Each structure stands twice: as C-alpha cells, then as structure tokens.
Structure 1
Amino acid sequence: MSSTKILDQNHRIIEIVWEQQAQPEDFDHITSQIERFALQLGGTFDVLVDMRKVKAFMPESQVKLVEHQKELLKFGMQRAAVIVDGVITKMQLNRSARQSQHSTESHWNSYEEALSFLKESSPALHS
C-alpha cells in the first residue's frame, strides 16, 4: 500500500512510498495527507519519493500523478527527490513533471543519496 509520513521534521521532509498497484484514489488519499503535513511544517517542505517498486503507472494513475504534483506545489513543496529504478517510470515522471510545471524534481538511484541531497541542500529549522 502506498504511504506518506513526515520523515524529518527538522529538515521539513515528507516521504511518499508509491506501490506498483497505486490506484487513482491512492493519489487523492496521499495528497490530502500531505496537505495536513504541509500545515504542520509551516507551508514549505521537500518530498522524498520512493518509487523503486513502480515499473509504470496505469494511464488513469498517470493523470492523477499530474494533479497530485500540482497540488503539492500549491501546498508549498520546494523540491522532490525521487528514487526510481525503471526507465519507463523515469519517462512517465519526466512527462508528468512537464505537465504539472514542476521543475524542481531530481531522480536518484538510491534512497540514501536522495535523502542526503535534501538534507544537505536544505536549511534546517532552528527553534
């Protein structure tokens, strides 16, 4: 099952883990959860997206992915670091990023590299 959580409160990083079987309603559910997280994080955040289990989304899920990305940008998403293995998945992501006008997405081969990128290039909160 696809899931989301606040991964790192200090660096304002939200994690999304997508499953191969992600249905359109899963995108709606994840998007609404992220809206709540965005408020908790003060309206700006980065996203670590784990798509290692996804080879390709179904066409109806691909449409939802574009809507999802647009909503996250409205909620205050600054950057998305996406861990992705498949070539087809990368092509779908590139297309959905263009369609949602999301230009701050980077693709990574490992979870550790993606997380390190977000932590190192993001100012931590000091409270």
Structure 2
Amino acid sequence: MSWPLRGGVAALALVLSGCASKPATRSVPPGPSPAPVATAEDPRPPAPSSEARADTFAVSVRPILERRCTPCHVPGGRMYDRLPFDNPDVVRSHLDGILRRLKDDAERGAVTSWAASSSGS
C-alpha cells in the first residue's frame, strides 16, 4: 500500500469514527415509582358495602335485639310475623321505637351507629 493511500484510509477511518456515533448516554435503571398522592376531592371515607353493613347488623345489632326483644320479635315469637327483628330493613323502619326501648347506652350507640352507616342503602 502506498503512502497516500494509507493516509487516506486513516483519515477516512478517523472521520467516520467521529461522526458515525451518537454521544454516549448513561442508561439509568428505573427506580421505585413515587407513591400516589392523596387528593382532597372527597374527604369522606368510602361508604361500607352492603355486605359489610349486613355483617355489622349480624354481629353488632342482631345479638342486642335477640337479648332485649325475646320472646316476641324472634322466630316463633308472637310478634315475629309482623315485626321480625332479624331483618335489617324492619329494624331500620322501626328504629325510633326500638331505640326508645333500649336503655343501655352502649346498645343504643351500637344500633344508632349501624343505622347511620346503613342509611345509604
């Protein structure tokens, strides 16, 4: 190979190596995504589901009514056919009368709390 040819090849290699490549960029692995930010659109807690309300009735309210309203408003009782207190809808529709008859503050509070949380259904 002659000198001018070698010089031309070297110059061509130098030019191509400088303009053919992009500047090197560092690839940064993704980090943990930021936590979602709570918005103040609706500060109220979500309403309990109908299933949760039914569970609250079965666990909190029904035992109180079974203790206080037996023997009349339980299955087999003389008032059960007209006012079955194992039915949340019946209890909700007769809430004032039930609360008047409950004397214990804790029991009244449990029934009132259930009624307030289930009023949207």
Specify the TM-score bucket, using the shorter chain as the normaliser.
under 0.3
- The structure in which a higher percent of residues are helix is 2
The answer to which structure, 1 or 2, has the higher relative contact order (CA under 8 A, 6+ apart) is: 1
Question: What TM-score, normalized by structure 1, do the two folds share?
Answer: 0.25
Larger radius of gyration: 2
